[in-house]
Amino acid sequence: MNRFSIPINRTEPQISPAINQSDQQPPFTRQQPIRPPAGAPNVLLIMLDDVGFGASSAFGGPCRTPTAERLASDGVKYTRFHTTALCSPTRAATLTGRNHHSVGMGVISEMATSAPGYNGTRPDSAATVARVLQGNGYATGAFGKMHQTPAWEVTEAGPFDRWPAREGFDKFYGFLGAEADQFTPVLYEDFRVVDLPRTPEEGYHLSEDLVDHALQWIEGVSAADPEKPWFCYLPFGACHAPLQVPERYLDKYRGEFDHGWDRQREITLERQKQLGVVAPDTVLAPWTGDLPHWDSLSADQRKVSARLMELYAAFLEHTDDEVGRLTDHLRDLGMLDNTLVVYMVGDNGASAEGGFEGSFNYLANLNGYRTTTEEVLDRFDELGTPTSYPHYPAAWAQALDTPYQWAKQVASHYGGTRNGLIVHWPAGITETGGVRNQWHHCVDITPTILEAVGVPMPHTVDGVAQMPLEGVALNYSFNDPGAEERHTTQYFEIFGNRGIYDHGWTAITAHRAPWLMATHGLELPSMDEDRWEMYDTTVDWSQAHDLAEVYPEKLEKLKQKFLVEAARYQVLPLDDRTVGRHATPGSRPPHPMHGRDSITLYPHMNGLVEKAAPNFFNRSYTLTAALDTCGRPSEGMLVGIGGRFGGFALYVLDSRPVFCYNFSGGGRTYVRAAAPLTADTREVAVEFVYDGGGIGKGGTAILSVDGTEVARERIEQTTRAIFSMNEQLDVGVNRGSPVSEEYADRGRFAFTGKLAHVRVDLPKATHAVSAAERERIALATH
C-alpha cells in the first residue's frame, strides 16, 4: 500500500492512486454503458390517425393496405383492440401505460382546463415508455404527430419539459398539433422549426418525409452502435383531414365508391366475416343518428361524396405503402426479425367532422361555415391536391367503422373506440397468421413493450415516484390464441360520451354527436337525462341488440361501476363542453399573450402556434413592422398567420406593401399601396377596425407607411375562431402554405430588407364573445 491509499471497507476492488500511470494498480476501468437485457428487440410503434376499424383491407375494409396484411400474415392481429376515441388522449395513454384522464389528457390539450383529469399536462409521475427505454440503454426517436405538448408551452419561453425531446425521445421530427397540411406542414426538429427538404412541386409529401427521417435515424444509430437497440415511434398525420395525396395516387380508386356508404357497410361486413375479424353471426349495428342514406342524395352530392371517399382510400393506401417501405428496408438491413412492430391502425374511429356533405376546405366547417356541394363541384378537380383541404361526409365514417355505430369522439360505442391492431415479431411470435380475440386497450401498449424488452416499470424516474401502470400486457396472447383475456374492465369518456366494458358487457351512452360539434354546436340535454344502452358483447359482436330494458338491474350495476372507475381515474366531474369549458373562471389554460395589449415579435423567432399567438378574432388590432429597405427594391413577408385556407398576411411585393385577408369561408381581400417603399421608409403598418356587434363580422383594413395612410379596403366577413391547426404566426418569413397565391411560388418569401421587429397592438375587444356563442362555434381541433 502506498502512502496515498486510503483503505475503505467495501467489497469492490480498491483503486490506489499512484504518482505515475505505470504504477497504477489495479488499472482504471471505464464504466460500461447501460444496456437492456440480452436479445432485447428493437421496437417500432406505428400509429395511424382517424382510421376506423372497417377501413383497412386487413380488417375487411375497402382501402387496400398490403403492408398491414403482410405483417398480419407473419404476425397476429387483434380484433378487439380499443382506443380512447380521440387523438391526444389515445397518444397519452399509449405512451404512458396509464389512462388518459390519469395523465391529465381527458380531451385534446387545446381544450385543457384546470381540472386534474383535463389539464393537458402529463405529470412527471407518469414517465413515457420512451423515457423508460432511454434510461435502459435504448436509442429513442419520434417522427410525426405528437399532439401532447401543451399549446401554451410551444413558445420560445417554454418550458420544454413536455416537448418530445424532453419526454424521453433522443430525436424528434414532426409536428405538435392536431393535424398538418400534407404538402406544406410546419415541422419541428427537436426544438426548432425547420424548412422542408422539398416543395410540393418537387414531390414533397409529409408521410414520405417522416419515413425518410425515421430510416435515416435508424441507420445512423445502427452504424454508430450496432449493438444498441432502438425505439422508433412513427405516428403519421395520415389519415386525418385534410385528405391530400401524391399525384400518382389521385386516381387509384376512381369509381370504386359509386355504390355509396350503405352498400359499402354490407360489403365490408361480408369481408370481415371471411377474414374472421368479426364473429360469423355479426350483424350491422343500427344506422347512426340522422345521417343521410345514400339513396337520399342528389346526383351531385353522390359525385362529390364518392370522390372524397376515393381520396381517403388513396390516402390510407399511400400511408400503408410508406409503412411497407420502412419495414422492407428493416428486412434488408437484417433488423426486422428482432423488431417488435406494433401497428395501430387508427387512434380512434373514423372522423365524422366533415359534416353532412363533406368539404373542400373543412377548416371552414370548423368555423361554422357550411360548405355546399355546389362549391365543391366548382373546384372538383383540385380535390386532394395542395390547393384543397378536404374531408369526406360524416356518413362515410359510419361505413369506415363497420360493423359498429358512431365514430370518432364517441367513446361510448365501438365505432369510436375499436381499431385494428397488428403485432409482428418473428423472434417472439411463433404462432403467426391468426387473429387474437382477447379484449385490449391502448393503455396496454406500454406494458407490452416493456415485457417484450424485459424491463420492468421503474419505481422512480428522474427522482420522481411513479404511479403504477394501469394497462395489461398483451404478450400472454402472442403464442396462445385461446388464452383467457386479462384486461377485463375499462371505462371510456370523451366530451360526455361515456361507458364501461366489464367482462364482456358494455353499458354506454352517446351524449354528443360529433358532426354537430364540427359545425354548429348543439343544445345538449343534461347528462342525467342521457339514455344508457347495454350490450352483451360475448354474443353481440357489434353492439346491435340493446338489452338495457331486458336487464335493468344489470345496467344499474354497470352504471355504478362506471362511476367508481371514473372517480378512480380523475374522470369526474364530467364535462361535456367544447370551447365553452373555458368560460368558467379559472378554467382557461395559461396563455403567454393573455392580458397584454402590445406584443413585439422578432424575425429570428420560431413563430407562434395559433393557440399561443395573440387573438385576432372578433376584434380590432394593429400590426406595425419596423424595417429598412437598405435603399434597394424589396419584397417578402413582414408578418402573417394562417395560410392558404384562412389567415392574413402583411408583406411587400415588388417593393409595394400589401395586406391580404383570407376569409376561411372563402375569398380574399387585398389592401395595396400604389407607390413603392422608398429608401428612407422605416415603418409599414395595417390597422384593422372591427365593426363589432357579433362574431365573424366585417371591418376596415387601413394600410399606412411611416404613419401616412396609403390604402384602405372593406372586409365584409372575418373568420370566427380558427385559421389553422398547424400553420402559425410568422415574422419575416412564410412557413407553411401561403395566405395569398401571389407569392406562392416564392418559397419561404423571406423579407429581403432588414426587419427589426413587428409590434402587435390589441385594444380591448370590440365584441366580447359569450360562452354560449363560443359553444356554437365548434373549434373541433381534434
CATH number of the domain encompassing residue 512: 3.30.1120
The parent domain of residue 343 ranges over: 43-487
Closest CA to 111 of 445, 517, 597: 517
In the chain, the number of structural domains is 3
The pLDDT confidence band at residue 514, using thresholds 50, 70 and 90, is confident
- Residue 28 banded pLDDT, cuts 50, 70, 90: confident
Write out pLDDT tens, residues 243-295: 999 999 999 999 999 999 999 999 999 999 999 999 999 999 999 878 999 99
Q: Peptide bond preceding 36: is omega within 30 degrees of 0, i.e. cis?
A: no
Domain identity same for 187 and 328? yes
Q: Which of 560, 583, 606 is the last residue of a domain?
A: 583
How far apart, in Å, do the first and last CA atoms of the chain sit? 70
**3-state percent breakdown (helix, strand, coil) of the chain, nearest 5:** 25, 20, 50
φ, ψ dihedrals at 52, nearest 5°: -75, 165
Let me know if residue 401 belongs to a domain.
yes
328 belongs to a structural domain: yes
pLDDT mean over 155-178:
95
Same domain, 565 and 687: no
318: nearest Cα among 413, 424, 237, 410: 237
* Alpha-carbon span 323 to 749, nearest angstrom: 34
Nearest alpha carbon to residue 310 among 375, 374, 264, 366 = 264
Whether 473 and 512 map to the same domain: the answer is: no
pLDDT, tens digit, for every residue of 689-737? 999 999 999 999 999 999 999 999 999 999 999 999 999 999 999 999 9
For residue 337, which phi and psi values (nearest 5 degrees)? -60, -40
C-alpha of 737 from chain center: 19
What's the grid cell of residue 32? 460500461
306 and 162 both lie in a single domain:
yes
For the stretch 530-539, pLDDT in tens is: 999 999 999 9
pLDDT value at residue 368: 84
- Shared-domain flag, residues 365 and 239: yes
Q: Judge whether 258 lies within some domain.
A: yes
Domain boundary among 526, 556, 583: 583
Angstrom CA distances, 426 to 432, 433, 490, 735, stand at: 8, 11, 30, 43
Is residue 582 predicted with pLDDT exceeding 70? no
CATH code (residue 380)? 3.40.720.10
For 166-175, 225-234, 575-584, which range has the lowest pLDDT when averaged over its residues? 575-584
Among 487, 521, 556, the domain-final residue is 487
Chain centroid offset of residue 90 CA: 10
Query: What pLDDT does residue 99 have?
Result: 98
The reply to whether 604 and 575 lie within a common domain is no
pLDDT at 336 over 90: yes
Residues 468 and 617 in one domain: no
Residue 492 in domain: no
- SS3 assignment, position 294: helix
Q: What is the pTM for the complete model shown?
A: 0.94
- Mean pLDDT across 124-145: 98
* Rg of the chain taking only CA atoms, in angstroms: 27
Q: What CATH number should be reported for the domain holding residue 744? A: 2.60.120.200
Mean pLDDT computed over every residue of the chain: 93
* Three-state secondary-structure class, residue 269: helix
Give the SS3 label for residue 770: coil
Checking if the pLDDT of 776 tops 50, the result is: no
Q: Which long-range contacts (CB under 8 A, 24 or more apart) does 274-281 make?
A: 274/60, 275/58, 275/59, 275/60, 275/435, 276/79, 276/435, 277/59, 277/60, 277/77, 277/79, 277/420, 277/435, 278/60, 278/79, 278/403, 278/541, 278/542, 279/541, 281/541
Any residues with CB less than 8 A from the CB of 560 and at least 6 apart, and which?
A: none
CB burial of residue 32 (10 Å; 0-12, 13-18, 19+): exposed
pLDDT tens per residue across span 111-121: 899 999 999 99
d(CA 438, CA 417): 15
According to DSSP, the residues that pair with 194 across neighbouring strands are 187
Cβ atoms of 137 and 131 within 8 Å: the answer is no
Which is more confident, 84 or 290?
84
Instruction: Give the angle 597-600-601 at the CA atoms, nearest 5°.
Output: 130
Distance, in Å, from the CA atom of 618 to the CA atom of 698, rounded to the nearest integer, reads 9
Tell me, yes or no, whether 736 lies in a domain.
Answer: yes
Q: Is residue 427 part of a domain?
A: yes
213, 296: one domain: yes
Mean pLDDT of all residues in 493-498: 96
Indicate whether 589 belongs to any domain: no
**Half-sphere exposure for 185 (CA within 13 Å, toward CB):** 29
pLDDT at 519: 38
CA dihedral angle for residue 391, residue 397, residue 400, residue 405, rounded to 10 degrees:
170
Q: Are residues 554 and 480 in the same domain?
A: no
Give the total residue count for the chain: 782
Is the pLDDT reported for residue 595 higher than 90? no
Q: Which tens digit of pLDDT belongs to each residue from 497-507?
A: 999 999 999 99
CB 649 within 8 A of CB 731: no
Question: Using CA atoms, how far apart are residues 589 and 154, in angstroms rounded to an integer?
Answer: 13
* Burial grade of 81 (CB within 10 A; 0-12, 13-18, 19 or more): buried
- Residue 506: its pLDDT value, please? 98
Please indicate, yes or no, if residue 5 is contained in any of the structural domains: no
Q: How confident is the model at residue 133 (pLDDT cuts 50, 70, 90)?
A: very high
Assign 668 to helix, strand or coil: strand
Q: What's the sign of the alpha-carbon dihedral 239, 449, 413, 581?
A: negative
Q: What is the pLDDT of residue 429?
A: 98
411 compared with 591, residue with greater pLDDT: 411
**pLDDT score recorded for residue 366:** 86
At position 521, the amino acid (one-letter code) is G
The pLDDT assigned to 584 comes to 65
Residues 387 and 418 in one domain: yes
Distance CA 226, CA 223 (A): 6
Give yes or no: residues 479 and 510 share one domain.
no
Residue 7 pLDDT greater than 50, yes or no: no
According to DSSP, residue 388 is labeled -
Q: Based on the domain organization, do 634 and 562 belong to the same domain?
A: no
Torsion angle, CA of 556/560/565/566, rounded to 10 degrees?
100
Q: What is the pLDDT of residues 341-386, one digit of tens each?
A: 999 999 999 999 998 999 999 999 888 888 889 999 999 999 999 9
C-beta of residue 172 within 8 angstroms of C-beta of residue 189: yes
Looking at residue 371, what is its pLDDT? 81
How many whole angstroms separate alpha carbon 204 and alpha carbon 198? Answer: 5
Q: Are 113 and 581 in contact (CB under 8 A)?
A: yes
- Residues 136, 688: Cα–Cα separation, whole Å: 55
CA distances from 284 to 265, 544, 626, 732 (A): 8, 7, 63, 55
Report the alpha-carbon distance of residue 439 to residue 414 in Å, rounded: 12
Listed in sequence order, the residues at least 6 apart from 55 whose beta carbon sits closer than 8 Å to its beta carbon are 61, 62, 63, 239, 316, 345, 346, 350, 400
Task: Measure CA 64 to chain center.
Answer: 23
CA atoms within 13 A on the CB side of 20: 2
Phi, psi of 590 (to 5 degrees): -60, 150
Burial bucket for residue 206 (CB in 10 Å: 0-12, 13-18, 19+): buried
Check pLDDT > 70 for residue 307.
yes
Confidence bin at 579 (pLDDT 50/70/90): low
Q: In 3-state terms, what secondary structure has residue 112?
A: coil
